[in-house]
Structure 1
């Protein structure tokens, strides 16, 4: 797929001067990847790639991971979380087209088979392999196809295989979500790359998709875990497409160390590297929201006030409101829908002195409408990104949620997902 725009395209992402985007992509030193067609996705011509393999050739590779909090987490999540060394993952084996979720003991067995095949292709121990699946829930995974796919992928591994790997992890995504960055650190330049997928079943309750991140920097496992956790809270934990929490969400950061450039804990290098990772993941998260099934626009709701739980509850209520999301789709500055969503989030608080501003135009003060230029506001909400600011009584807390609109195509895509 061709690049429609530079990777960093949102005004809501701060890109450090130390970061450069590489349009040609390619993986950091020490990594090889591949994607193949194994016949798991529906038949098409040519066949769609559906099994991916990401391998770090460095024995000293460190890593960090985060997973869905769903009570019905899929077998690949359970196997990886419970059987893998999450601080030393060298291999990621992934399939799309079947989530291997709600599949019971057979699903656990197939996830374990996947882990074994990944270990063989990556020439490492099984406990250094993460397995991930994405697609339809409640259908038994044909593990034989996945294993054959991983065997083929192992033979096709190459340093510039991130494009095929990206294609192999996608389901209803309309465009690729990947990037390769160069980051200038005090000790030298390192590469940072990522591949993500996600367009539906997205809700802020961590990960909300699959995302794989690689760097050739030398990063201690504890530092990698700290940075991934912080950056996830500002990115994938801040997006919503449809308010639905996936069973398979996984985010993994692998550090090969092949560059020899060290990211020391509590150093300037850690700060700069963390800023680069933060920008990378925030843009990927926004791309997932932008690709929300059938979406036209992305919204950002910022809520400020004096009670933390109320601030968070309000932001998520607005981001998940079908009325707000359909207004966003239509470019309709109907701020009454926002006030309604705030009231739903904070029952029994009337009269609530809520302030609402849309794209810098204040439309409500202390719960009452104020005069504004309606035509100018309508023009402002017609863009690709629309920001809503909500003020609650008091101060001291602030949060944000990014969300997609809700249009006709979302219904069509999900009404026909398995048929």
Structure 2
């Protein structure tokens, strides 16, 4: 990856002695694109980011974990602006070229004395190979860092895409995941980058659910500095870039769900034969968010009735007497008819796997879509009961 540096350090923002402050820096101003949460309650960095992304250019992103800087009023916005200004000063760039992101507890003011003290070290120790440190510094309840990289080629040359994400709980994105950052050394316009980012998010982050909660801080930012000298020359090149970006974000989204708070299984619900694509998505999303389905998956119980019931309340068109439902290759329902206890015994074996595919075929049309979700365990309750302690 040409022209990017990363870092992650301990700034003392979290109560525990762990890395909690990270930065991405481009050696030259990069074209930029971003998407933000659609929650009506938004964090101060989102307010600032929505304004700054309008220019379509960014050179640095600074991220803290442990404090969401959300519901902190005018002071929160000033703190986000000051974080950007202090970082810009240390980097010798304009403050408008710095974007900020935060994740953590809602309502507490950002400890600006610690942030200000940490910024010089954060900037002075940046390196091209410290993406792992950055990915670690932005975590909250995550158990592992999430990084995905692709080396790609277009007619104009070779380029690299690297994506980093954090997210484990409060995941039912309505734009992206809780936080995600994508960098590439490709030369691409901000308009095209924004379009590609939106499509990639719709095909990945907007198809995942851990617990049905949309964060106040959801942010995905993409930077492209063009330092590989690779340039998109035609529509085929754009298609190839989109494919590579899709792959990176889909891999990250799978990592997020697999690392869901207390999760033991990754599940894909595939809906086929719906009357419309919109109906297929409605059903997939409703099944993925059903706590009854999620707990059944955790218990390795092929309780197919919960899936049928969720589909039926989704608001999508459905004719129960025609549907097929299978876990892996095992049909539990065929043509609207339960296939018996022997089928459930076989389906229970499928549910012992760490990754499970459930397919619901409505046989009503050509609509199809999918969702990724995880199971719901006792550990999820414990993590969130103790989150602020």
TM-score (norm 2): 0.95
Contact 1:52-1:150 within 8 A present in 2 as well: no
CA distance in 1, matches of 2:234, 2:155: 13
Q: Which residue is 1:314 aligned to?
A: 283
Instruction: Provide, for residues 360-385 of structure 1, a one-character-per-residue CA deviation record: whole Å limited to 9, x for no partner.
Output: 22211343312463333222221111
Q: Which residue is 1:25 aligned to?
A: none
CA distance in 2, matches of 1:348, 1:85: 40
Q: How far 1:301 moved relative to its partner?
A: 0.8
CA distance in 2, matches of 1:306, 1:180: 37
Q: Which secondary structure state, in structure 2, belongs to the residue aligned with residue 183 of structure 1? A: strand
Greater CA drift, 129-138 or 330-339 = 330-339
Instruction: Provide, for residues 264-322 of structure 1, a one-character-per-residue CA deviation record: whole Å limited to 9, x for no partner.
Output: 352x2222222111111101001000000010101111123003443222111100111
Contact 1:65-1:225 within 8 A present in 2 as well: yes
Q: Which residue is 1:34 aligned to?
A: 7
- 1:130 equivalent among 89, 99, 102: 99
Instruction: Provide, for residues 307-359 of structure 1, a one-character-per-residue CA deviation record: whole Å limited to 9, x for no partner.
Output: 34432221111001111111111222221111121122239977664331211
- For structure 2, the 5+ residue unaligned runs are none
Q: Which residue is 1:9 aligned to?
A: none
Contact 2:149-2:248 within 8 A present in 1 as well: no
CA distance in 1, matches of 2:13, 2:3: 29
Matches within 5 A, 1:167-206: 167-206=136-175
Q: Which residue is 2:244 aligned to?
A: 276
- 1:241 equivalent among 210, 215, 219: 210
**1:334–1:148 distance in 2 versus 1, CA, 3 Å:** same
Matches within 5 A, 1:16-415: 28-43=1-16, 47-59=17-29, 61-85=30-54, 87-266=56-235, 268-304=236-272, 305-346=274-315, 353-371=322-340, 373-392=343-362, 394-415=364-385
CA distance in 1, matches of 2:315, 2:49: 39
CA distance in 1, matches of 2:109, 2:234: 44
**1:353–1:330 distance in 2 versus 1, CA, 3 Å:** same
Q: Which secondary structure state, in structure 1, belongs to the residue aligned with residue 32 of structure 2? A: strand
Q: Which secondary structure state, in structure 1, belongs to the residue aligned with residue 170 of structure 2? A: coil
Q: Which secondary structure state, in structure 2, belongs to the residue aligned with residue 218 of structure 1? A: coil
Contact 1:74-1:99 within 8 A present in 2 as well: yes
CA distance in 2, matches of 1:263, 1:381: 44
Contact 1:201-1:208 within 8 A present in 2 as well: no
**1:176–1:38 distance in 2 versus 1, CA, 3 Å:** same
- For structure 1, the 5+ residue unaligned runs are 1-27
CA distance in 2, matches of 1:200, 1:373: 34
Instruction: Provide, for residues 198-225 of structure 1, a one-character-per-residue CA deviation record: whole Å limited to 9, x for no partner.
Output: 0000004221311111111111112211
Larger fraction in helix: 2
Q: How far 1:393 moved relative to its partner?
A: 5.0
TM-score (norm 1): 0.88
CA distance in 2, matches of 1:218, 1:84: 18
Contact 2:283-2:316 within 8 A present in 1 as well: no
CA distance in 1, matches of 2:5, 2:358: 42
Q: Which secondary structure state, in structure 2, belongs to the residue aligned with residue 105 of structure 1? A: helix
Q: Which secondary structure state, in structure 1, belongs to the residue aligned with residue 162 of structure 2? A: strand
